[in-house]
Amino acid sequence: MVLSGAGISSWALIVAALLPGGFAYGGSSISYSAGIKNAFGPRHYTQNFALSQLAMGVAALFESASGEVYDLFGSYLSVGVMMLIFAAIALVMAFPGLKFFKPQYESPANLLPRKLR
Residue by residue, pLDDT tens for the chain (117 residues) are 445 545 556 788 888 888 888 787 777 777 888 888 887 788 888 888 888 888 778 877 777 788 888 888 888 888 888 889 988 887 877 766 555 555 555 555 555 566 655
CA distance 48 to 103: 12
60-68, long-range: CB within 8 Å, 24+ apart, which pairs? 62/86
Helix (H) or strand (E) holding 91: helix 77-94
pLDDT for 80 equals 86
Look up residue 1 and give its DSSP letter. Answer: -
CA distances to 57, 76, 88 from 93, rounded to whole Å, are: 18, 26, 9
